[in-house]
Amino acid sequence: MYSCPIFRLSDIVGKRWTIPIIQEVGLNGKNGFNAIHRRMKKMSPRLLSTRLKELENEGIIERKVVVSEIPIRTSYTLTEKGKELQQLINKMRRWYSKYHPELEGCDRRECVNCHLY
């Protein structure tokens, strides 16, 4: 089924916590679930798991199981598609900050460290 790319994109990135997860995985890649959750303290583990699976299904992040380590762990990284999306998100953030000077510094701060989340 075909749909409008803008509506489809908003379905993906418009969900709460999705953009901060993309940023977290992009900035601190190769972290496992627990490391990501420690950084995103306000998010429930269940919701984090759901969002990671959604992003993986969309081809935005890649989940790797590291079996060479004990205990076995997972790591998450952005795919090329995810890296391009992260660049677009950063451009949108800079654009918005340009027209809202009261948010000074927002374009240089990680979303997970923002008091608004």
- Domains annotated for the chain, with CATH where assigned, are 5-113 (1.10.10.10)
- pTM for the model stands at 0.85
Whole-angstrom Cα distance, residue 16 to residue 22? 12
The amino acid at residue 60 is I
Tens digit of pLDDT at every position of the chain (117 positions): 568 888 888 999 999 999 999 999 998 878 899 999 998 888 999 999 999 999 999 999 999 998 887 888 889 999 999 999 999 998 988 888 888 887 776 666 666 666 655
Judged by DSSP in three states, 31 sits in strand
- As given in the structure block, the two tokens for residue 23 are 């940023």
Q: Give 54's contacts (C-beta < 8 A, 6+ positions apart).
A: 12, 15, 18
Q: What's the pLDDT at 26?
A: 92
Computed over its alpha carbons, how large is the radius of gyration of the chain?
15
